[in-house]
């Protein structure tokens, strides 16, 4: 177990190095430089000076080694755009993204599991077809379009919910206020997953319903509801847990499109802006943090499997 952990952590460190190297090579070679160097009134000498001050006049490998040296000392550098340490910015943005992603996940499971079970209980019935059709829509609808439609309906036409942002500015912050701002983006972000989870729930529940012990349960005279929820669903959930586990990294990486559409201050919209502005330290920092979280969560999932399923051995 310990040996396994050490090996996995070692692999993770190598992976992070490779990822950061690839991303660094990509962003620094992308046409156009940092926006901070492109002001229309800046003459060549001001630009050259600014480049030198940011260390951009150095050869690329020197720049990378410098960045790496900083990272090893726990410093991700300062954002070109905001003038604030990258680590601090990520520290402020990551919780916002987690709130949004968690809300979307809970929402999608709350809808998907009942829908999937209902589908499985009466396969090929009208209800099942309706759920399937809805799921197909959910998977296919472009995020930005769905977001805009919901904004038009709930913010502009009905005036029920704010169109974007995370809080009412200047008002005392409250949970209710946060929830109001959270509803629309969470629905949009949860929609695709909702559809996905509903399909998985349906198929895994169907598979379980064909098992012998379900027949036994029915033979004992249990109600159909008890059979479904107490026996079938509990075992079907194992599959769903796996699928949700696979979605975990996306919780952290955020949802660039949803966050942008709703002006949600999270990692996704931050990454999009950083890419536009070629804010190298910001892009590198976001990449590093997200890769680390992805690696950590996949390790966690693997370890959990061993805990849940005694057949799995770590050697």
Partner 1 sequence: MRTALVAGLVLLALLASAWPASAQGATFSLPLIDNARMWPLVGGLPNILVNKVVYSTLVKYDPKDWTPVGDLAERWTVSEDRLTWTFHLRRAVTWHDGKPLTARDVKFTIERLWLNPQVPFFQRANVQDISRVDVVDDHTVRIATKVPFATLPVMLGYLANILPEHVLGSYTPDQLRNPVDFLRSPIGTGPFRFGESVLGSHIRLVAYDRYFLGRPRLDAIVFRVVADVEQQLAQLQTGQLDLMIIEPHQVPTVQRMPNVQIVDAPQVNYAFVGLNHKAEPFGDRKVRQALALAVDRKAILDRIYLGKGRLATGPINPLVGWAYTDAVDQYPYDPARAQRLLDEAGWTRGSDGIRRKGGQPLRFTLDFDRGNPVREQTAVVVRQYWRDIGVDVELRVSEFNAFLSRIRTRPNPLQAWVLWYITPPEADLLGYYHSQGTLNEFGYANPEVDQLLEKGRATFDQKERARIYQQAQKLIAADAPVLYLVYPAEIQALARRIQGWVPMGYRDALTHMVGVSAAR
The least CB distance from residue 300 to partner 1, in Å, is 28
Q: Where are the alpha helices (DSSP H) in 35-158?
A: 44-54, 60-72, 86-121, 126-140, 143-150
Residue 43, class by beta-carbon neighbours within 10 Å (0-12 exposed, 13-18 middle, 19+ buried)? Answer: exposed
Kindly report the number of other CB atoms within 10 A of residue 182's CB atom.
Answer: 21
Measure the CA dihedral 191/196/202/204, to 10°.
-140
C-beta closer to partner 1: residue 213 or 276: 276
C-beta closer to partner 1: residue 263 or 303: 263
Helix (H, G, I), strand (E, B) or coil at 315: coil
C-beta closer to partner 1: residue 145 or 213: 145
Distance CA 232, CA 215 (A): 11
C-beta closer to partner 1: residue 205 or 295: 205
What are the respective helix, strand and coil percentages of the chain, to the nearest 5?
Answer: 75, 0, 25
Q: Which two tokens stand for residue 98?
A: 């987690």
C-beta closer to partner 1: residue 163 or 306: 163
C-beta closer to partner 1: residue 263 or 293: 263
Helix (H, G, I), strand (E, B) or coil at 74: coil
C-beta closer to partner 1: residue 232 or 295: 232
The least CB distance from residue 298 to partner 1, in Å, is 27
The least CB distance from residue 85 to partner 1, in Å, is 7
Sort residue 84 into left (φ over 0), alpha (ψ -120 to 50) or beta: beta
The least CB distance from residue 56 to partner 1, in Å, is 12
Distance CA 171, CA 56 (A): 43
Dihedral (CA of 8, 14, 17, 18) sign: negative
The least CB distance from residue 13 to partner 1, in Å, is 29
């Amino acid at each position: 177990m310990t040996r396994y952990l050490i090996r996995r952590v070692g692999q993770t460190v190598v992976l992070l190095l490779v990822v950061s190297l690839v991303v660094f090579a990509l962003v620094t070679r992308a046409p156009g430089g940092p926006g901070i160097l492109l002001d229309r009134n800046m003459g060549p000498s001001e630009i050259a000076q600014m480049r030198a001050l940011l260390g951009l006049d150095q050869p690329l490998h020197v720049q990378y080694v410098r960045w790496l040296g900083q990272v090893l000392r726990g410093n991700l550098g300062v954002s070109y755009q905001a003038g604030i340490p990258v680590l601090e910015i990520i520290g402020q943005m990551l919780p916002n993204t987690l709130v949004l992603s968690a809300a979307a996940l809970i929402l999608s499971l709350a809808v998907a599991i009942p829908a999937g079970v209902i589908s499985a209980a009466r396969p090929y019935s009208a209800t099942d077809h309706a759920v399937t059709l809805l799921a197909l829509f959910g998977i296919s609808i472009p995020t930005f379009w769905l977001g805009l439609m919901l904004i038009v309906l709930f913010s502009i036409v009905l005036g029920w919910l704010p169109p974007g942002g995370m809080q009412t500015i200047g008002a005392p912050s409250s949970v209710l206020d946060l929830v109001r701002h959270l509803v629309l983006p969470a629905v949009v972000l949860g929609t695709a997953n909702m559809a996905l989870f509903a399909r998985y729930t349906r198929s895994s529940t169907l598979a379980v319903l064909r098992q012998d012990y379900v027949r036994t349960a029915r033979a004992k005279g249990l109600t159909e509801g008890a059979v479904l929820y107490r026996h079938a669903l509990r075992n079907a959930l194992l599959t769903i847990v796996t699928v949700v586990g696979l979605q975990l990294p996306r919780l952290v990486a955020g949802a660039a499109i949803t966050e942008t559409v709703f002006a949600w201050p999270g990692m996704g919209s931050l990454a999009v802006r950083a890419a536009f502005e070629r804010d190298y330290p910001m892009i590198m920092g976001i990449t590093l943090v997200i890769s680390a979280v992805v690696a950590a969560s996949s390790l966690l999932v693997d370890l959990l499997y061993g805990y849940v399923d005694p057949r799995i051995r770590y050697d």
